[in-house]
């Protein structure tokens, strides 16, 4: 039986099926954790909510837009900034965040009037900004405020202003993934096809599922431009609201994060006949293969080869320097969704790192299949982890570092496991050839930093708490 017995699963037997040791190469169908189910009551999940998935992951990287949440201020504040989705024109989307600021009285008496007033006020405060994304939250959805109607009224009363409505309150799915799905389809239904692009190239793509974390999109955009390819719009990193209305006119959808954005690609194929090509910009080989694939599609593979040769010449020696020093480093690779399968094998083949555990907070079964199949035998795979399992796994596996997000990362720091943030990054971008070297450098600095040897572990393995809320459930 490949299931991994955590202390949590002694109290919550259902958790047993969510952690699996890959073993020595048994049939993989037995070695996959269950994926993308509702979180089991009694365990505190690390997942985000469907509002966060819609707003923080996909909506807010759009750069020339007022992002306004209809709800209490905490929803907006906690989905702001930390992902570092920068833009190339002044970072309006990072400098400001907007909330209607619902209070108790609004829950009782309704908040539509206040919302309308606040939308108008926001547009007046920033007269150069003509577009808005408006997000439903749990509080406003539960009392039934009709944000679509308010958006319509505003667009009538303020000509030239556009409001996109995203109806994805926090409870609209088991995790942030539910919000990805909702905003994908909402954008397609409300906005795509409402503007026409200027075409200047024979090769025209949409770049989908790329959020410009610390400049990832700009690295990849540079390669596409050097191949003579026009990007109509990027969904959504560094993306412009009006450009994203033109997605229907591309010849090809180039899809990076399939977990968060395959929905819009698949619908663009159905409705507009645009083919979907999945690519991968993390790692030298993966990036090179991706540029080649796109090159073949348009018959410009010579241009792809030229860029690959130039970039290898420029960056490969640096990667090799780090790789020589990272051989055998043990890592827990604990991202949210697709990075587990984008990264697991590239870290091994290009840096010599042993990924001893993968987890995904909200990945679907297919993400686990792809991730686990790319891992070495013996890897521990965990679906929808919780803090106790994470701590136990770190003690058992003794990794040299973990790559994860800020919440589990802070826990790791407390037990002196070096942590690298792979959601907002440390010194990104991490995409493309240059980005992969930057990641190698961050891993090197993380692992070789003397800071961790200056402190001693003050919690031993036997002291892992098991009684925080779990004891009540038998
Ligand atoms: Fe896609 Fe992402 Fe990810 Fe994701 Fe995310 Fe992210 Fe992530 Mo954090 S869209 S699934 S919901 S690659 S925010 S940029 S790093 S969990 S692995």
Spatial distance between the Cα atoms of 55 and 72, rounded to a whole number of angstroms: 15
Whether residue 460 is predicted with pLDDT greater than 60 in this model: the reply is: no
Q: How many angstroms does the Cα of residue 11 sit away from the middle of ligand 1? A: 30
What was the pLDDT predicted at 90? 95
What was the pLDDT predicted at 9? 87
Whether residue 37 is predicted with pLDDT greater than 50 in this model: the reply is: yes
Whether residue 458 is predicted with pLDDT greater than 70 in this model: the reply is: no
* CA nearest neighbour of 390 among 446, 334, 443: 334
**Residue 185 · residue 263 · CB < 8 Å:** yes
What was the pLDDT predicted at 8? 87
Q: How many angstroms does the Cα of residue 106 sit away from the middle of ligand 1? A: 33
Q: Please provide the average confidence, as pLDDT, over all residues in the chain.
A: 92
Spatial distance between the Cα atoms of 147 and 100, rounded to a whole number of angstroms: 12
Whether residue 463 is predicted with pLDDT greater than 70 in this model: the reply is: no
* Closest atom of ligand 1 relative to the 83 alpha carbon: 13
Mean pLDDT computed over 323-336: 97
> pLDDT tier at 392 (50, 70, 90 boundaries)?
very high
Mean pLDDT computed over 336-363: 95
Mean pLDDT computed over 340-367: 94
Question: Is residue 329 within 6 Å of ligand 1 at its C-beta?
Answer: no
Mean pLDDT computed over 96-107: 96
Whether residue 468 is predicted with pLDDT greater than 50 in this model: the reply is: no
Whether residue 456 is predicted with pLDDT greater than 90 in this model: the reply is: no
Whether residue 367 is predicted with pLDDT greater than 50 in this model: the reply is: yes
Whether residue 85 is predicted with pLDDT greater than 80 in this model: the reply is: yes
State if pTM tops 0.90: yes
Spatial distance between the Cα atoms of 22 and 379, rounded to a whole number of angstroms: 5
Which tens digit of pLDDT belongs to each residue from 279-301? 999 999 999 999 999 999 999 99
Spatial distance between the Cα atoms of 102 and 109, rounded to a whole number of angstroms: 11
* End-to-end Cα spacing for the chain: 22
**Which residues are bridge partners to 254 per DSSP?**
207, 277
Question: Is residue 52 within 6 Å of ligand 1 at its C-beta?
Answer: no
| ipTM surpasses 0.85 | yes
Q: How many angstroms does the Cα of residue 214 sit away from the middle of ligand 1? A: 13
> pLDDT tier at 465 (50, 70, 90 boundaries)?
low
Question: Is residue 176 within 6 Å of ligand 1 at its C-beta?
Answer: yes
Share of the chain above pLDDT 90, in %: 80
What was the pLDDT predicted at 36? 74
**Residue 123 · residue 56 · CB < 8 Å:** no
Q: How many angstroms does the Cα of residue 337 sit away from the middle of ligand 1? A: 6
- Report the residue among 59, 182, 336, 425 best suited for mutation to probe ligand 1: largest number of ligand atoms under 8 A from its CB: 336
**Residue 180 · residue 260 · CB < 8 Å:** yes
> pLDDT tier at 193 (50, 70, 90 boundaries)?
very high
Give me the helix-helix angle, 301-326 and 432-448, nearest 10°. 10
Mean pLDDT computed over 321-336: 97
Which tens digit of pLDDT belongs to each residue from 244-291? 999 999 999 999 999 999 999 999 999 999 999 999 999 999 999 999
């Amino acid at each position: 039986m490949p299931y991994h017995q955590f202390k949590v699963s002694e109290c919550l037997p259902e958790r047993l099926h969510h952690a699996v040791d890959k073993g020595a190469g048994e049939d993989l169908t037995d070695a996959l954790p269950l994926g993308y189910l509702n979180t089991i009551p009694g365990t505190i999940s690390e997942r985000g909510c469907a509002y966060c998935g819609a707003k923080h992951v996909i909506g807010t990287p759009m750069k020339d837009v007022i992002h306004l949440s209809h709800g209490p201020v905490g929803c907006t504040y906690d989905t702001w900034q930390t992902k570092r989705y920068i833009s190339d024109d002044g970072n309006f989307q990072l400098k400001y965040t907007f909330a209607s600021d619902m209070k108790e009285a609004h829950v009782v008496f309704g908040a539509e009037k206040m919302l309308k007033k606040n939308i108008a006020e926001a547009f007046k405060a920033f007269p150069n900004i003509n577009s808005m994304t408006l997000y439903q939250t749990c509080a406003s959805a539960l009392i039934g405020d009709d944000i679509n109607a308010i958006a319509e009224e505003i667009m009538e009363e303020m000509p030239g202003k556009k409001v996109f409505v995203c109806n994805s309150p926090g409870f609209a799915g088991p995790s942030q993934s539910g919000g990805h799905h909702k905003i994908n389809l909402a954008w397609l239904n409300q906005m795509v096809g409402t503007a026409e692009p200027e075409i200047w190239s024979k090769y025209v793509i949409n770049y989908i599922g790329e959020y410009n974390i610390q400049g990832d999109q700009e690295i990849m955009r540079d390669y596409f431009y050097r191949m003579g390819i026009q990007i109509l719009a990027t969904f959504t990193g560094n993306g412009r609201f009006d450009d994203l209305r033109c997605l229907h006119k591309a010849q090809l959808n180039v899809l990076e994060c399939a977990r968060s954005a395959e929905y819009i690609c698949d619908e663009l194929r159905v409705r507009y006949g645009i083919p979907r090509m999945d690519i991968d910009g993390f790692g030298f080989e993966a990036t090179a293969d991706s540029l080649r694939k796109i090159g073949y599609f348009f018959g410009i593979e010579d241009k792809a080869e030229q860029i690959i040769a130039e970039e290898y010449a420029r960056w490969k020696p640096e990667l090799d320097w780090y790789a020589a020093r990272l051989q055998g480093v043990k890592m827990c690779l604990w991202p949210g969704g697709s990075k587990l399968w984008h990264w697991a094998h590239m870290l091994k083949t290009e840096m010599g790192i042993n990924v001893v555990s993968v987890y995904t907070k909200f990945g679907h079964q297919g993400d686990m299949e792809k991730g686990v199949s790319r891992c070495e035998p013996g890897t521990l795979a965990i679906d929808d982890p919780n803090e106790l399992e994470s701590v136990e796994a770190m003690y058992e596996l003794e990794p040299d570092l973990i790559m994860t997000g800020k919440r589990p990362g802070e826990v790791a720091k407390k037990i002196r496991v070096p942590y690298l943030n792979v959601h907002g990054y440390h010194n990104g971008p991490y995409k493309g050839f240059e980005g992969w070297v930057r990641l190698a450098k961050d891993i090197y600095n993380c692992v070789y930093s003397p800071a961790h040897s200056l402190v001693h572990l003050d919690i031993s393995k036997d002291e892992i708490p098991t009684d925080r809320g779990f004891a009540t459930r038998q």
